[in-house]
């Protein structure tokens, strides 16, 4: 969660109503269907990218499922039932365009009594995560914590936490919690003595806390592996050992960088060994650096990024979060986000992962959907997705696409079906039952909610969330961009217009959405896959590529549209090449229905010349 809100004042109020997707299938449970033989391949990390069993580069896009796990109302599970998990998974595919989730687990629920793992909790969690695997969604798990533990907080406290069980808090004899003058819950990280001391104890393994956690983590991973089929287990992408780590307090002479080197990284090495012992040898640990390493307020930034861990290699993924603290403050950024706003911030993620020799994932990003700064959400989220897609601003993409860098994986915070309809006694207080927003420290970040009929509906613009992106690239991605034409109120945001130097491409795209992928073919036979948003019905989809120029692509051939696995009604575009080491390009747009053949020919000629010049 956006712990980066530390020290920043603002007030939350209610944002505008929800949005639904025209023409999207209803969010109802469905069994797996429409799968191809390569859909179930496990992920590995190779040459700094996620790769599947066919050697294709994979991009994971989706959401965190969910902050509900931090609440008591459903026993630390993301959902009240498996049926709700299925509804969520189907909606996530059909409405949100996701192919991955970060699935939250609770240490407190997994080990409520020291040394005793609650297998009933683990079984229930496994059944819920299976719903996402059945929908064709890859899962990476996360032992989540915020402010260390809810058991540090009194029944009447302004704030709450999650993570460690009550026995772990009792072992420490921590002082009465107090944040002083705090406007955001994240300030507790650095200002609340109880939280600081508890974090410090964990990293120093006081009272054997870290040993107990690692033993429970191994038991959890072993349980999940044994209760999934081999095919289902292949859909598990990895495990995030610890959400948003922070030292609590530094020892005398210690810095954020030496803390990462001497305490955080050794913990990850120990966790990696537990993964191996539990039969997770071929899955990476998604390791997070000090949570303040990439803060975009200089006064909060701390040196880090696992700089002294050496090459991480295939056993680890560089996992980080990003929230725009300046925008959230309501003070340090008065206007809205603009084209290329976060290009430098996300370039730092790409560069750090590249230097570490591994893949990167931004496993949390987002912005409040209600409150005094909620008006910034449409532009902030558009700029974040833009930065995930490419390292270049839209104004520079067409002239310098080769500098795009890899397409980043990311999971937005969050996807909570129960948004606005919770029943959470905060810190166990029956006189303080929270129902609004996320029911968590006054936050409101869920992209989805249930309407009055119990159907899942989006709270954000579908054009922003349900995006075109390369889920699997057969070879090496050279550049990618997507102009979603998402809205800020009644204003359509166009940050990457087709340049005047490509007049026929511009005419073909018109006012529609479009994406461009450039890649160098690999040695495999599986096709390149792009997720097709619901706003790209087959009849209105046009592809201009050196592999073929097609309006309303067929179900077979070098340019084809087929269902995505999971029976959710989602579709994907398949681009099949028959060579190796050759650059290819594809423009995908919904800007024209049944365009004239001469326009397609002219657009292809322009794109071919552009690609030859830029690559």
Query: Considering its fold, how many domains does the chain have in total?
Result: 2
The sign of the dihedral angle between the CA atoms of 291, 224, 77, 30 is positive
Residue 31 has pLDDT above 50, yes or no: no
Among 467, 489, 517, which residue terminates a domain?
467
**Domain contains 52:** no
**What mean pLDDT is predicted for residues 183-200?**
94
* 334 and 219 fall within a common domain: yes
Task: Measure the CA–CA gap between 261 and 256, rounded to whole angstroms.
Answer: 9
Q: What SS3 class is residue 341? A: coil
Among 415, 441, 467, which residue terminates a domain?
467
* 463 and 482 fall within a common domain: no
**pLDDT for the residue numbered 564:** 92
Among 449, 467, 485, which residue terminates a domain?
467
* Residue 581: pLDDT band with limits 50, 70, 90: very high
120-124, 185-189, 363-367, 416-420: the lowest-pLDDT one? 185-189
**Domain contains 133:** yes
* 444 and 497 fall within a common domain: no
Instruction: Supply the DSSP string of 250-275, one letter for each residue.
Output: PPTT--HHHHIIIIIHHHHHHHHHHH
**Domain contains 394:** yes
**Domain contains 55:** no
> Is the separation of the CB atoms in 541 and 573 below 8 Å?
yes
**pLDDT for the residue numbered 593:** 87
* Residue 567: pLDDT band with limits 50, 70, 90: confident
Residue 4 has pLDDT above 50, yes or no: no
Strands 44-46 and 49-51: antiparallel
Q: What SS3 class is residue 401? A: helix
* 347 and 477 fall within a common domain: no
**What mean pLDDT is predicted for residues 354-362?**
97
**Domain contains 319:** yes
Q: What SS3 class is residue 373? A: coil
The sign of the dihedral angle between the CA atoms of 429, 432, 435, 441 is negative
- Residues 512-558 have pLDDT tens digits of 999 999 999 999 899 999 999 999 999 999 999 999 999 999 999 99
* 187 and 71 fall within a common domain: yes
Q: Would you tell me how many other CB atoms lie within 10 Å of the CB of residue 156?
A: 10
* 173 and 252 fall within a common domain: yes
Q: Where are the alpha helices (DSSP H) in 59-115?
A: 82-94, 107-110
Task: Measure the CA–CA gap between 146 and 185, rounded to whole angstroms.
Answer: 10
* 448 and 489 fall within a common domain: no
* 402 and 348 fall within a common domain: yes
83-92, 171-180, 431-440: the lowest-pLDDT one? 171-180
Task: Measure the CA–CA gap between 18 and 356, rounded to whole angstroms.
Answer: 41
> Is the separation of the CB atoms in 69 and 78 below 8 Å?
yes
Residue 17 has pLDDT above 90, yes or no: no
**Domain contains 77:** yes
Residue 281 has pLDDT above 90, yes or no: yes
CB neighbour list of residue 528: distance below 8 Å, 6 or more residues apart: 56, 470, 472, 473, 474, 475, 517, 519, 574, 575, 576, 577, 586
**pLDDT for the residue numbered 29:** 33
- Residues 132-144 have pLDDT tens digits of 999 999 999 999 9
**Domain contains 34:** no
Range of the domain at 110: 60-467
* 491 and 458 fall within a common domain: no
Q: Please name which of 225, 249, 271, 260 lies closest in space to residue 42, comparing C-alpha atoms.
A: 225
- Residues 120-163 have pLDDT tens digits of 999 999 999 999 999 999 999 999 999 999 999 999 999 999 99
Radius of gyration of the chain (CA): 23
* 486 and 587 fall within a common domain: yes
Domain of 347, CATH number, reads 3.20.20.80
Task: Tell me the angle at which helices 82-94 and 119-134 cross, rounded to the nearest 10 degrees.
Answer: 30
**Nearest-5° angle of CA 291, CA 297, CA 299?**
90
Q: Would you tell me how many other CB atoms lie within 10 Å of the CB of residue 226?
A: 11
**Domain contains 25:** no
* 412 and 483 fall within a common domain: no
* 352 and 497 fall within a common domain: no
530: which strand partners? 470, 573
**What mean pLDDT is predicted for residues 13-33?**
34
> Is the separation of the CB atoms in 508 and 542 below 8 Å?
yes
């Amino acid at each position: 969660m956006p712990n980066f809100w530390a020290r920043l004042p603002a007030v939350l109020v209610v944002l505008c109503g929800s949005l639904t997707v025209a023409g999207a299938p209803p969010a109802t449970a469905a069994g797996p269907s429409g799968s191809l033989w390569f859909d179930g391949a496990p992920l590995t990390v190779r040459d700094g990218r996620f790769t599947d069993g066919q050697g294709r580069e994979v991009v994971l896009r989706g959401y965190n499922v969910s902050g509900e796990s931090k609440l008591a109302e459903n026993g630390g599970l993301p959902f009240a039932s498996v049926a709700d998990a299925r509804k969520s998974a189907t909606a996530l595919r059909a409405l949100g365009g996701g192919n991955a989730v970060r699935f939250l687990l609770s240490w407190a629920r997994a080990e409520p009594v020291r040394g005793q793992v609650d297998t009933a909790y683990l079984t229930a969690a496994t059944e819920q995560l299976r719903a996402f695997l059945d929908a064709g969604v890859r899962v990476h798990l996360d032992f989540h914590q915020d402010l260390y533990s809810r058991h540090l907080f009194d029944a009447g406290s302004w704030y709450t936490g999650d993570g460690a069980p009550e026995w772990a808090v009792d072992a420490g004899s921590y002082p009465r919690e107090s944040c002083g003058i705090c406007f955001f819950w994240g300030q507790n990280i650095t200002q609340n003595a109880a939280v600081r001391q508890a974090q410090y104890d964990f990293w120093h393994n006081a009272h054997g806390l870290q040993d107990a956690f690692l033993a429970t983590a191994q038991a959890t991973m072993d349980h999940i592996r044994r209760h999934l089929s081999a095919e289902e287990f292949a859909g598990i992408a990895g495990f995030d050992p610890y959400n948003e780590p922070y030292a609590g307090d530094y020892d005398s002479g210690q810095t954020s960088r030496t803390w990462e080197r001497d305490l955080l990284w050794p913990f990850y090495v120990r966790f990696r060994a537990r993964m191996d012992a539990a039969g997770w040898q071929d899955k990476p640990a998604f390791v997070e650096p000090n949570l303040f390493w990439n803060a975009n307020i200089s006064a909060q930034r701390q040196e880090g990024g696992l700089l002294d861990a050496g090459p991480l290699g295939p056993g680890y993924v560089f996992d980080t979060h990003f929230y725009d603290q300046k925008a959230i403050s309501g003070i340090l950024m008065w206007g809205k986000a603009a084209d290329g706003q976060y290009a430098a911030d996300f370039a730092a993620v790409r560069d750090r992962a590249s230097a570490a020799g591994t893949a990167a994932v931004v496993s949390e990003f987002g912005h409040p959907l209600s409150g005094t700064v909620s008006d910034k959400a449409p532009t902030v989220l558009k700029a974040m997705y833009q930065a995930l897609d490419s390292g270049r601003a839209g104004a520079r993409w067409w002239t310098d696409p080769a500098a795009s860098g890899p397409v980043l994986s990311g999971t937005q915070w969050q996807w909570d079906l129960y948004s606005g309809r919770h029943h959470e006694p905060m810190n166990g207080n029956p006189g303080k039952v929270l129902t609004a927003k996320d029911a968590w420290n006054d936050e409101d970040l869920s992209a989805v909610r249930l309407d009055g009929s119990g159907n899942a509906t989006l709270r954000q613009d579908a054009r922003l969330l349900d995006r075109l992106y390369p889920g699997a690239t057969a070879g090496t991605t050279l550049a990618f961009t997507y102009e979603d034409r998402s809205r800020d109120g009644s204003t359509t945001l166009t940050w990457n217009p087709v340049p005047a130097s490509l007049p026929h491409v511009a005419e073909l795209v018109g006012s529609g959405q479009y994406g461009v992928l450039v890649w160098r073919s690999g040695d495999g036979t599986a096709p390149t896959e792009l997720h097709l948003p619901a706003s790209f019905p087959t009849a209105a989809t046009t592809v201009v590529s050196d592999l073929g120029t097609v309006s309303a692509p067929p179900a077979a051939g070098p340019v084809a549209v087929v269902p995505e696995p999971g029976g959710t009604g989602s579709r994907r575009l398949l681009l099949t090449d028959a060579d190796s080491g050759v650059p290819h390009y594809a423009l995908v747009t919904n800007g024209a229905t049944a365009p004239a053949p001469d326009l397609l020919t002219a657009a292809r000629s322009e794109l071919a010349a552009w690609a030859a010049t830029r690559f």
